[in-house]
Structure 1
Amino acid sequence: MVFTGSNLPAVGEYNQTVVLDAIRRHPHGSTRSKLATFTGLSSMTVANVCRRLLASGLVEERGTHVNGPGKPAAILHLNPGGGFAIGVHIDPAVVTYVLVDLAGEVRDHTRSGTPSAQDPESVIDEMARSIDALITASGVDRSRVLGIGIATPGPVNIEDGIVLNPPMLPHWHRVPLRTALSAATGLPVRLEKDVTAAAVAELWYAEPSDSRDFAFMYYGTGLGTGIAVAGEVVRGISSNAGDPGHMTVDPSGPECVCGRRGCVGYSVTPRALVEKAQGLGILDGELAPGAEGIPQIDEAFTRLAALAGAGDPRAYAVIADAARQLARAVVVIVNLLDIDRVIFGGPFWSRVAPIVLDVLPSVVREDPALVPPHEVRFTESVIPVDVAAVGAASLVFDSTFSPRPSTLLIAAG
């Protein structure tokens, strides 16, 4: 298909997103003249757009700026209460709901056990009730809720809004979440893979000076990777990008379910570390198979991390060895994408962060297989509460307010 020309009716909306995004990226406020300079739009265009944004309640005037003679210029700020988004993160162990305002602040959040999807209708009803209760408890104006974002383990069918068959979610097979939840709540719904949602959140919350090229290493019940290149999230042809699990990091390691040995997604997950610690006699007990063992993994993994943090050499060695294996996967990802930043986060991350960040960076930098000559920075996510849930809410803001030049194009007949 060949694209040509410009979609003139969309220019106004596109300019509005450009100005709104510029205001969002100036948290201390900006004048109209500065916005014109920053965006490259004419002063008249910026004035007209700001008038519409003020009328809609998305921005507000607070304070003035004096620059020489004449009337002081009003300072425009994002209005935090001008819009809200609901973020939902479906994890094998728990579902997290967050209500986020336009400034990115989490106004309220709740959690509930992850329901079985044997009866999809009951799942939708339960989620709709939880969302309604969250909005009611927060006291926000429901008409200001712009939509719902859902972050779920993959694989997913984004086009149809269907959760296909996540390995750690028994019975969640072809659950039509997007359409059904939208019908139940009366709100638009967006669905994304959890690691993609996490990457969207990092971009949405990024400072202007932050790198726009990064990998987000998501450490949950499994290992996932969210990718951003040139400020755009990499989704892949079916929106299921970001699964590094079968990347070999230890050819002599344990056999993975895929038949290979030493797959990173099998070797460094919380279950793998707990099972290794149990085999070495560091921890006692035995894990139940599949999703049934997740509560046990959570508790045992916490004990393992606490032992390692308290100086137990064997517990420390288990986590440090996992960090070295993870480093080998990071080298491959950095080589492949030529990125300069790796961000870590996820529900299990904080418990092992001190040890992994003590071991991993030097292993990556000293690996003879590392190709890019530039420095690679390793940071932790600053997203509050649950990065995937906040990322899910960010999907709503991103789709509503982030400027995309592609919206200006029309297809030639």
Structure 2
Amino acid sequence: MRPGASLSHVSQYNENAVIHALRVLGPTSQTDIAAQTGLSIPAVSSIVRNLRHLGYLTELRTESVGRGRPRVIVDLEPTANYAVGLHIDPAIMSAVVLDLRGQVVLDGTSESIDPNDPSSSLDEAANLINQLVDASGIDRTRLLGACAAVPGPLDDRTGSITDTVWLPGWAGIAIGEALTRRLGTTVPVVKDTFAAVTGEAWVRGGSMIDSTVVFVYLGTGTGLGLSLNGEPVRGASGNAGEIGRMLVSLGREELRGMDNDPFILVQEAHEQGILASPPPTRWELRQLEEQFRELCRLALDGNTPAEAILRNAGRRIAEMVVMTAEVFDADTVVYGGPNWVHVRPFYEDAAIAALARPSARGPHPVEVLSTAMGTEVGAIGAACAVLDARFVPRLPSRR
């Protein structure tokens, strides 16, 4: 629970506490909101009245409760605000416009991303965002802002990628500053795994909002998003969730923990003669994506060597997830990312089995879920980071 604070200088906090309660409870009454937030019913009544006036809440119906006054059931108004999210992936850029509930109003993608020419790629990103906002028909005065999600490692101070084999020409480029100039609004930059775990809580709502979550992000690379009691974890440098060293202990040291990534799995498939087409280089990302999906299709069709490659990768990732879940005492593990839909048949059972083993924590169940965001985890999560920064109740002293 995130309690309210009965102090005049934190009225915004208390308004956010009410919005937060509605995200947890769904449509509900002022009495239930008061119980959830710890605020008095008169305080909640005043806040609800103001939020309705501002357009954030809508009255759905009244419910009779015996001889007392009927209860007024209120809920969030999804059109009150919107946010834009951009995901810069080595192979594709995707963008979304979300409403206040985290539902996609409009989305789009562009393959015009050049690993060695960030300037033209960012021009394309800005064009994609402007086209989506225009086509969505939303009231621009209700647009809160935009956020970009990028693969790590990230320089949190400058909003730049510091080191990546996938986008070599982007190292040190201040992505947030460049997008801010192009769009005319401040664009923060976050790591894609941070965006993913933030988005999962916002889109799914309910008990997920205050859970301790490990989000397993499966894309061109593999990473973790972490949320502790409902608070997404950025880490000291914005790079929480880097797992290369952990995977080294579970794989082959000479690969530096990358032997669960699609490039290495496709390489292994070629070494075993499973894939017929010429092996892609690390920078031929579209060919890599096509061949990785072909590997998954072969495994699903019963190709035993192909299935073994993927199941071994799934078991290594499951062991990494168990370690992380135990360190953070997580109650939920979510798998997602662009490749999750392809590897789910080979990874999911391994995760469930690994997390069901006896633990020093005792009989504490860990739920394994598939993401509620579909394949656009990065873009949706980035937009949700805008909503999270504005509406999650946090006192000013907290980051």
The alpha-carbon deviation at position 350 of structure 1 amounts to: 1.1
Is 1:82 aligned to residue 69 of structure 2? Answer: no
Instruction: List per-residue Cα deviations over 1:342-386 (Å, max 9, x = no partner).
Output: 2111111111101222334334545x9x64333333221121341
Q: Which runs of 5+ in 1 are unaligned?
A: 1-5
Q: Structure 1: how far apart are the matches of 2:134 and 2:314?
A: 43
Is 1:41 aligned to residue 39 of structure 2? Answer: yes
Q: Answer whether contact 2:161 2:171 (CA < 8 A) is retained.
A: yes
Q: Structure 2: how far apart are the matches of 1:283 and 1:295?
A: 16
Distance change >3 Å, CA 321–CA 85, structure 1 → 2:
same
**Residue number in structure 2 paired with 1:372:** 361
The SS at the match of 1:21 is helix
The correspondence of residues 287-366 of structure 1 with structure 2, limited to 5 A, is 287-290=279-282, 292-363=283-354, 365-366=356-357
The SS at the match of 1:205 is helix
Q: Answer whether contact 1:161 1:176 (CA < 8 A) is retained.
A: yes
Distance change >3 Å, CA 63–CA 185, structure 1 → 2:
same
The alpha-carbon deviation at position 114 of structure 1 amounts to: 4.7
**Residue number in structure 1 paired with 2:379:** 389
The alpha-carbon deviation at position 186 of structure 1 amounts to: 3.0
The alpha-carbon deviation at position 22 of structure 1 amounts to: 1.3
**Residue number in structure 1 paired with 2:230:** 231
Distance change >3 Å, CA 33–CA 248, structure 1 → 2:
closer
- Aligned Cα root-mean-square deviation (Å): 2.5
The one-letter amino acid paired with 2:324 is I
Q: Answer whether contact 1:95 1:113 (CA < 8 A) is retained.
A: yes
The SS at the match of 1:347 is coil
Identity of aligned residues (%): 35
Q: Structure 1 runs of 4+ off > 4 angstroms?
A: 6-9, 117-121, 248-252, 363-366
Q: Which runs of 5+ in 2 are unaligned?
A: none
Q: Structure 1: how far apart are the matches of 2:55 and 2:73?
A: 15
**Residue number in structure 2 paired with 1:148:** 146
**Residue number in structure 2 paired with 1:100:** 98
Q: Structure 2: how far apart are the matches of 1:343 and 1:37?
A: 29
Q: Answer whether contact 1:88 1:95 (CA < 8 A) is retained.
A: yes
Is 1:402 aligned to residue 365 of structure 2? Answer: no
The one-letter amino acid paired with 1:344 is Y
The alpha-carbon deviation at position 225 of structure 1 amounts to: 0.7
The alpha-carbon deviation at position 48 of structure 1 amounts to: 2.1
Q: Structure 2: how far apart are the matches of 1:248 and 1:203?
A: 26
Q: Structure 2: how far apart are the matches of 1:201 and 1:391?
A: 4
The SS at the match of 2:169 is coil
The SS at the match of 2:85 is strand
Instruction: List per-residue Cα deviations over 1:139-164 (Å, max 9, x = no partner).
Output: 11111111112110112223333333
Q: Structure 2: how far apart are the matches of 1:248 and 1:141?
A: 46
**Residue number in structure 1 paired with 2:264:** 272
The SS at the match of 1:25 is helix
TM-score between the two structures when normalised by the length of structure 2: 0.90
Instruction: List per-residue Cα deviations over 1:306-356 (Å, max 9, x = no partner).
Output: 111111112111111212222332232233223233211111111110122
Tell which deviates more after alignment, 193-202 or 354-363.
Answer: 354-363
Q: Structure 2: how far apart are the matches of 1:208 and 1:299?
A: 37
Instruction: List per-residue Cα deviations over 1:71-113 (Å, max 9, x = no partner).
Output: 5343211111111111111100000101111122111100001
Q: Structure 2: how far apart are the matches of 1:24 and 1:341?
A: 18
Is 1:281 aligned to residue 281 of structure 2? Answer: no
Distance change >3 Å, CA 312–CA 78, structure 1 → 2:
same
**Residue number in structure 1 paired with 2:245:** 246
Tell which deviates more after alignment, 329-338 or 339-348.
Answer: 329-338
**Residue number in structure 2 paired with 1:13:** 12
**Residue number in structure 1 paired with 2:157:** 159
Q: Structure 1: how far apart are the matches of 2:248 and 2:46?
A: 56
Distance change >3 Å, CA 364–CA 7, structure 1 → 2:
closer
Q: Answer whether contact 2:24 2:207 (CA < 8 A) is retained.
A: no
**Residue number in structure 1 paired with 2:217:** 218
TM-score between the two structures when normalised by the length of structure 1: 0.87
Q: Structure 2: how far apart are the matches of 1:83 and 1:248?
A: 40
Q: Answer whether contact 2:197 2:227 (CA < 8 A) is retained.
A: yes
Q: Answer whether contact 1:217 1:343 (CA < 8 A) is retained.
A: yes
The alpha-carbon deviation at position 60 of structure 1 amounts to: 1.3
Counterpart of 2:58 (choices 45, 57, 60) is 60
Q: Structure 2: how far apart are the matches of 1:365 and 1:15?
A: 39
Q: Answer whether contact 2:101 2:202 (CA < 8 A) is retained.
A: no
Would you say how many aligned residue pairs link Structure 1 and Structure 2?
393
The alpha-carbon deviation at position 119 of structure 1 amounts to: 5.3
